[in-house]
Amino acid sequence: MVNHECRANASAPVPLVAGTVYDAGVPTGMGGNSILEVTREGDFVQQWVGLSGTIRNCAGGETPWGSWLACEEDTTKAGTTVTNGAGQSFTTQKDHGYVFEVFPAAPTKQIPVPIKAWGRAVWEGAAIGPQRRDAYLTEDTSGGLFYRWTAPRRTVIKPGIALQFDENDGVLQAAQLIRNGTPLVHYGQLTEADLNRPYPVKWIDGGADRQAQNSNLRAQFPGATVHAKIEGCWTDGKGLWIAVSYTNAAQLAAYPTLGMTGDSGMVLFYDYKAQSLTLKEYYANGNPHGFHGPDNITVSPFGTIVIAEDGDNPCSLISWTPKGGSQELVRDLGDRGEWAGPAFSSDGSVLYASIQSTATYAITGPFKKHLGHN
């Protein structure tokens, strides 16, 4: 399944297809999600729309039962006038900033209903914990947070999440990272010296206005650790891998008293059982590989990591293993912008990934050579 991070002025918006439409006030289409059918070898068969009438569906994530979580990285409210690439203006009918569940099924089998229990924010990635009691979400915007939503007591998350829970069900919290007894204000305070050192997470309660009608959701969790570029996430069953793109000059200027020096990105691992975050990879500014802007992320069949770069062109897919660190796996020689949406086929033989503005690619191995050394 492929997310489409399209805005109002997209040159190739997702068409509105009956059974998949969330907001019919987006008549020419914006973002959404499509289902891509391929052969076992990765050859294209057909593609169809699974979600439409949404805006800027970003990284998202898979569920344990094989559906896809399509996250809106946009909080446009109902009644907002927007203009498309053809100069046509229209008005949204519904609030945006939600996560949707898309199934690998026909348009008539979809549920284009937002998961309101998880709140309304500038969502990037989403994942469900191994016990199916928790959902984890990342927020890609200035002051963005890492969230956990816990289902009501004696309840497990099932297919059709949006219909299972009401908008105020469960408990929504945001992470506060504690380093040596001191809460961190910003994830950019982490440095190479923190590599492989697990730090405890305190989960901060908040979200009284979960649908963000009067306040941005992130403003409702005072004390939670922030970052402007908390990107994709992916679970390996034991924990959650999270990409954080970079800490740039604008973020340094916004938090001048924290002593941050900036970085080109990092990868964190949240341990479900220990409730700790560990810095697993750190790209210093000027690092010898030139890696910059880790964005989407996935776990390989070997338990190691593939990271999609969204930084300085040419962008790459990066392989990461505990023993070998980061290595370039695939490079876009066309300098066409960021890689997005890496995901492996169910048998692990094909890696699918997209150049955001161009196409989706099927990439074959040998993956064990680059990703099997964990």
Produce one character per residue of 311-344: b if its CB has 16 or more CB atoms within 10 Å, e if not: beeebbbbbbbeeeebeebbebeeeeebbbbbbb
Q: What is the pTM of this model?
A: 0.95
pLDDT(140) > 90: yes
Q: If you compute the radius of gyration of the chain from its CA atoms, what whole number of angstroms results?
A: 20
pLDDT(28) > 90: no
Q: Would strands 350-355 and 359-364 be described as parallel, antiparallel, or unpaired?
A: antiparallel
- Considering the domain boundaries, does residue 373 fall inside one? no
Res 373: pLDDT? 67
Per cent of the chain over pLDDT 70 is 99
Lowest mean pLDDT across 2-11, 63-72, 108-117, 353-362: 2-11
- Considering the domain boundaries, does residue 135 fall inside one? no
- Cis amide bond preceding 114, omega within 30: no
Token pair belonging to 58: 């970003």
Q: How far apart are CA 194 and CA 279, in angstroms?
A: 6
Q: How far apart are CA 112 and CA 344, in angstroms?
A: 25
- Considering the domain boundaries, does residue 128 fall inside one? no
- Considering the domain boundaries, does residue 337 fall inside one? no
Q: How far apart are CA 269 and CA 275, in angstroms?
A: 10
Q: How far apart are CA 233 and CA 169, in angstroms?
A: 23
147 neighbors 173 (Cβ within 8 angstroms)? yes
- Considering the domain boundaries, does residue 288 fall inside one? no
3-class SS at 104? coil
Of the candidates 278, 339, 265, the residue with the CA atom closest to the CA atom of residue 306: 339
- Considering the domain boundaries, does residue 162 fall inside one? no
For the stretch 324-342, pLDDT in tens is 899 999 888 777 778 899 9
For residue 124, what pLDDT band results from cuts at 50, 70 and 90? Answer: very high
How many structural domains compose the chain? Answer: 1
Q: Containing H/E element for 251?
A: helix 249-254
Q: How far apart are CA 374 and CA 370, in angstroms?
A: 10
| Alpha-carbon dihedral angle through residues 209, 257, 311, 47, given to the nearest 10 degrees | -10
| Alpha-carbon dihedral angle through residues 282, 176, 186, 148, given to the nearest 10 degrees | 70
For the stretch 240-272, pLDDT in tens is 999 999 999 999 999 999 999 999 999 999 999
- Considering the domain boundaries, does residue 193 fall inside one? no
Q: Kindly state the average pLDDT of the residues 31-43.
A: 85
Q: Which domain holds residue 71?
A: 1-79+90-114
- Considering the domain boundaries, does residue 11 fall inside one? yes
Q: Would strands 182-183 and 294-299 be described as parallel, antiparallel, or unpaired?
A: unpaired
Res 41: pLDDT? 75
